[in-house]
Each structure stands twice: as structure tokens, then as C-alpha cells.
């Protein structure tokens, strides 16, 4: 493998139930990061204490504190990641990953991801398949192979530097916006099905219930410039999710509400044009070759 030098960033707020297993899974990696910065975002539980315990035992782990208003939000997550990134800039590394505090990974995960990126120099952002905890089992999140879940995105350093790191958004979608900008740089993005990551609580559950999360996803699709037809077809695929039809309707309401109000978006015309062009190519390919577009 040409290089195995990577660093990790983890924003954490009130994650005492999960941050220990996450760190344990990093410690057990066949190839460890040269630095892993966990930024505590104003936790009121034992999260900082747990991280401190690992930092005392393993010198590549560090705890930093990012004081905020106490409210969990994507804006505060961006600030936490920026604090970690600013500290990591002086280190010599080739890859940088964002790992959520409620994730765990198999011991060969980062070795596998770096091997994939070594095999394809145009691969700028990657992950494995995200398996989400539902009840007593882990299930696959529905997405296309180009979508890299934000819970464990892994960037080639030149890509992360090139997009300026994660950017603030109005509701959610900092990971999706980063993904779009990486492809705009001319790099590929990919989630590999032969590598897995385990997400131990439902997406968005920290701030909302499942239906509200679907509504927020619709808003995010609007704010990132997604095409109405693309969003409509995407929602149709969610009709089978329980409770039947509810998630699809919530997603459409989240998108078309701000569309009808002509609310301002989080992206400029250049990004919007790129997003629409990508979506039309995906839809055409799905019609011609009968592939699933999402």
C-alpha cells in the first residue's frame, strides 16, 4: 500500500453510551490513525471522562472541548470539525476521516478503505456500507453507491483541503454537500458493499423522530438544489417504509413547502447546476438500463 497515514475527527455530544465502543473499534484497527481528535461539544454526561480515559492510555487519541449554547445542531458539528481540522493541518497525512461517536468499525475497515483508494487515484471520498441499528438488528440504509454516509466519510487529503472542509447548512446535509463538492473537483465518491460500518442509533434520532427526520431530509434536498422529479421518484421508493406512506409524504412536504415559498437555498447557482446535471444523468441511466437510481 503506497500510504497508510490517516487522521480522524469525531464530534461528540452526550454520547457516553457509544463513544467508548467507537474508540475501542479504532484502537483495534489493523492500521491505526496517526491522530484521532474527539471534540466534545458541550456534553452534560460522561462523554469527556470516557474520552480522557482512552487519551491517557493511547497517545494518538486527544480530547478537545468546543463550548456551544448546549443545543445539538449541525452548525455546532461543523464548528467542532473545523476545530479538529485546524489542529490536524500541521501533521503529515494523506487521508482524513470523520467518524461519528455512535459508530463502530471492524478491525480491517481503514486498511480496506485505504487499499480501495490506492487502487483508484481518482477516488476522493469513500466509505463502506452503513448498517443502521433498528431494534435488535442492523439494516442497510437505502442509497446509491455514489453516496458516502456522513457517519464515516473518508477523504483523500487534497479533496478535503480543496473543498475547505465541511460547510454550514440550514438544516442538515453537510455530508451531502461535501460529497457534491468532491465530485465537482473531478474526483469520484463511492460506498463499498464489501466493507461495513455499524451505526448504533437511527439517523437523526438525536434531534428528531423518524417522521420528522424524513421531513428534514426533504428540506435538505431542497436546500441542496435537488430536482423536483428526482425527489418525487426518490419518495415513491419510500412508500413501502413503515408506517406505510408516512415517510414518503413527510419527505415530499419537507421539499415542496420551501419550493413553493421560493425559500433561499444553501448552494449557489454553480452547485445547483451541477447537482441537476448529475441527477438527470442518473435518471436517464436508470430508464435506459433499468438500474435503480437511488
pLDDT at 128: 95
Pick the CATH number of 6-199 from 1.20.200.10, 3.30.450.20, 3.40.1670.10, 3.90.550.10: 3.90.550.10
Low-confidence ranges of the chain (pLDDT < 50): 69, 205
The pLDDT of residue 100 is 96
Per-domain residue ranges for the chain?
A: 6-199, 210-286
Tallying the residues shown for the chain, one arrives at 294
pTM equals 0.88
pLDDT in tens, 119-149: 999 999 999 999 988 777 888 766 678 899 9
From first CA to last CA, the distance across the chain in angstroms is 32
Sign of CA dihedral 220, 223, 226, 231: positive
Amino acid at each position: 500500500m503506497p500510504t497508510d497515514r490517516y487522521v480522524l475527527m469525531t464530534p461528540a455530544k452526550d454520547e457516553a453510551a457509544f463513544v467508548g465502543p467507537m474508540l475501542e473499534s479504532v484502537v483495534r484497527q489493523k492500521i491505526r490513525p496517526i491522530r484521532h481528535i474527539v471534540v466534545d461539544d458541550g456534553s452534560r454526561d460522561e462523554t469527556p471522562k470516557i474520552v480522557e480515559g482512552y487519551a491517557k492510555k493511547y497517545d494518538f487519541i486527544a480530547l478537545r472541548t468546543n463550548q456551544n449554547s448546549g443545543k445539538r445542531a449541525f452548525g455546532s458539528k461543523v464548528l467542532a470539525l473545523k476545530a479538529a481540522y485546524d489542529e490536524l493541518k500541521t501533521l503529515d497525512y494523506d487521508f482524513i476521516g470523520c467518524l461519528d461517536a455512535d459508530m463502530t468499525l471492524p478491525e480491517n475497515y481503514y486498511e480496506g478503505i485505504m487499499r480501495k483508494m490506492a487502487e483508484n487515484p481518482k477516488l476522493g471520498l469513500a466509505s463502506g456500507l452503513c448498517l443502521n441499528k433498528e431494534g435488535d438488528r442492523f439494516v442497510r440504509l437505502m442509497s446509491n453507491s455514489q453516496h458516502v454516509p456522513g457517519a464515516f466519510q473518508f477523504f483523500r487529503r487534497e479533496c478535503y483541503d480543496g473543498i475547505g472542509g465541511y460547510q454550514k447548512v440550514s438544516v442538515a446535509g453537510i455530508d451531502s454537500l461535501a460529497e457534491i463538492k468532491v465530485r465537482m473537483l473531478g474526483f469520484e465518491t463511492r460506498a463499498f458493499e464489501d466493507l461495513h460500518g455499524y451505526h448504533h442509533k437511527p439517523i437523526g434520532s438525536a434531534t428528531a423522530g423518524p417522521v420528522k427526520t424524513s421531513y428534514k431530509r426533504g428540506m435538505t434536498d431542497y436546500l441542496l438544489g435537488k430536482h423536483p422529479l428526482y425527489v418525487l421518484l426518490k419518495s415513491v421508493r419510500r412508500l413501502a417504509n413503515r408506517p406505510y406512506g408516512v415517510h414518503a409524504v413527510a419527505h415530499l412536504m419537507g421539499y415542496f413547502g420551501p419550493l413553493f415559498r421560493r425559500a433561499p437555498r444553501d448552494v449557489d447557482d454553480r452547485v445547483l447546476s451541477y447537482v441537476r446535471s448529475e441527477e438527470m444523468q442518473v435518471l436517464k441511466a436508470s430508464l435506459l438500463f433499468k438500474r435503480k437510481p437511488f
